[in-house]
Structure 1
């Protein structure tokens, strides 16, 4: 981060302010971990921070300290809009384009004249923020929040509560430390957090060992639906709205299912296609290993983006048409790229 930007932010935070902190729509562990870590940090300096999520966050993150204070824009639009209008400063974390919050919230944010601060690790940031800390080399925004607090010369303010939030985001966005963005410095930060007393053995259980029976049944259906395009080193699975309804889907139940496609020997690219009839879209998650760039793949073909090995997208045509398009593209592109 630029030294002049750090100095300017220090001045902004030198006196108590009303501060809105916003993650992307469909917030995951890194989005919620980073926003709540910043929330608890700002509270220590007599600011009035409020985390506003565009929509509901998954139930498996409801144990995070401070989650009960989070406002949900979709559930309370008037109040959230008022908070945003009255804020002195707005942080956007774990996303870098305003469309990632959804159409209605995007319109509100785009109309504001307040100072925006972006902290994010995705590619190709938009230019809406006054101060930008953007670096794709990091595996999580939570690792960047740790650095951001250090840049402000307030590393001593990181306690067990803040550390728990940061650890959660690092753990989830690194795929439990498996993804390429995990570095020696990532582990050094984690070691410091553990030494602080962050419950590193409890957090994975809270995140990953709390499935409902219906969620496991939904996983079983997704695995049954999986198709393998062996010649093209790709796989994919699908979940229709009827299947989601049959297994009593709640937000967060499909989290992580896409990764099963990469556990098949020889598979370098996988995807999950999830029907959402209310929004009239097919939501898509892509994962890859090696050099196959799913960020560019999602941008080119499915109105999405993200990271080289993890990205998302969407389709506005039927599930059948979406799958046909995916198979056609994979047949034309991935075999050559995997062989190169």
Structure 2
């Protein structure tokens, strides 16, 4: 029995299914959770989605009402974990990635199934599907649907959040993680009725005035270029975020914008939120991997070209630390002849 048929059997035999994903929700964590939920429902079963915190505002065009949030309904989330006999761990590979749900996950007696595409998974689940070559966990949910023998169940309701997850986790299909298989999956989603143009429209054409002003300020006033290493850095304090009425997700595109500057190989954006400095790393090319820097110095990790981390130092001290580390991790740019 292939592993996806095994997972399908677990779904069919379970009485209480819980779907979890990581804190600081993004397109892939929300997309794969909802896509799996709708697939399970198509199998005639019920499931509950439990996330640590809310999704960014720009994802609310999706129907996120099935998602229970630990920050808003801790009693219901706790009850779901206590009843669960099957728990899906989607788009994360370490128990500390679920934030305030960690103790619930660790103490839960239900069988745990990890489906994830990040490096170095921990060994806490009972069943592990770890595929680092996949573009996203949402792509892996399509594999689950197909390889368990239920490809005909794929429809617009299941496919739309999965398309969203693939779209956002590949940087709109620009990252090296995009493979021929990625486009094969996209074709299947379109054939299933996903209206891809609407996903792009909902995702991109929903800027607020305050978000655009914050991004404009960041690019015009806070952008620092380390020319010798082709690294772009943006830092934003809590006061600066408050000045522009910051909402969750408002700075998510800044790293990609900085990386789009001609000649840049690496972009680093850090923002002061929730009492810590949250850091986003982006890069181009395998020779400019940023996940090692994130893991070794900023309690983070991720993919070679897209990683995250955090710092408990001040904004200025974090900026100084990053400046000093850049020469250790990235070679000097070769001068044009």
Q: TM-score range by the shorter chain?
A: over 0.9
Distance 1:167 1:288 in 2: 23
* Counterpart residue number, 2:315: 319
The answer to whether the 8 A contact 2:93-2:118 is kept is yes
Deviation at 1:17, TM superposition (A): 2.3
- Within the candidate set 236, 240, 253, 1:239 is matched to 236
Q: 1:45 Cα shift?
A: 1.9
Cα deviation for residue 338 of structure 1 reads 7.9
**Cα offset, 1:191, TM superposition:** 1.4
Q: How does 1:200-211 map to 2 (within 5 A)?
A: 200-211=196-207
* Structure 1 residue 148: Cα displacement: 1.1
The answer for the alignment partner of 2:278 in structure 1 is 283
What is the match of residue 213 of structure 1? 209
CA deviation map 1:147-179 (0-9, x unaligned): 011121111111111111111111111111111
Pick from 268, 272, 277: which aligns with 1:271?
A: 268
**2:67 counterpart of 1:70:** yes
Q: Detail structure 1 runs of 4+ shifted over 4 Å in the superposition.
A: 336-339
What is the CA–CA distance in structure 1 between the aligned matches of 2:95 and 2:298, rounded to whole Å? 18
Partner of 2:97: 100
- Aligned in 2, Cα 1:337/1:148: closer, same or farther, shift over 3 Å? farther
What aligned pairs does 1:72-87 form with structure 2 within 5 A after superposition?
Answer: 72-87=69-84
Instruction: Please say if 1:174 is aligned against 2:154.
Output: no
| Deviation string, structure 1 residues 50-101 (Cα, Å, up to 9, x no partner) | 1111001111111224x11211111111221111111111001111111111
Q: Do 1:238 and 1:273's aligned partners in 2 also have CA atoms closer than 8 Å?
A: yes
* Candidates 250, 253, 271, aligned match of 1:253: 250
Q: What TM-score do the two structures reach when normalised by structure 2?
A: 0.95
- Alpha-carbon RMSD across the aligned residues, in angstroms, is 1.5
Name 1:59's counterpart in structure 2.
57
Please state if 1:110 is matched with 2:112: no
SS in 2 for 1:211: coil
Q: Which runs of 5+ in 2 are unaligned?
A: none
Q: Secondary structure at the match of 2:269?
A: strand
Q: Is the 8 A contact 1:294 1:309 kept in 2?
A: yes
Q: For 2:111 and 2:131, how far apart are their aligned partners in 1?
A: 20
Superimposed CA distance per residue, residues 223-245 of structure 1 (whole angstroms, 9 cap, x where no aligned partner): 12010000111111011111111
Q: Paired residue for 2:4?
A: 6
TM-score for both structures, normalised by structure 1: 0.94
CA distance in 2, matches of 1:194, 1:172: 17
Distance 2:248 2:17 in 1: 27
TM-superposed CA distance for 1:337, in Å, is: 8.9
Contact 1:16–1:45, Cα closer than 8 Å, also in 2: no
The Cα of 1:258 is off from its aligned counterpart by: 0.9
Q: Could you say if the C-alpha distance between residues 228 and 109 of structure 1 is closer, same or farther in structure 2, counting changes exceeding 3 Å? A: same
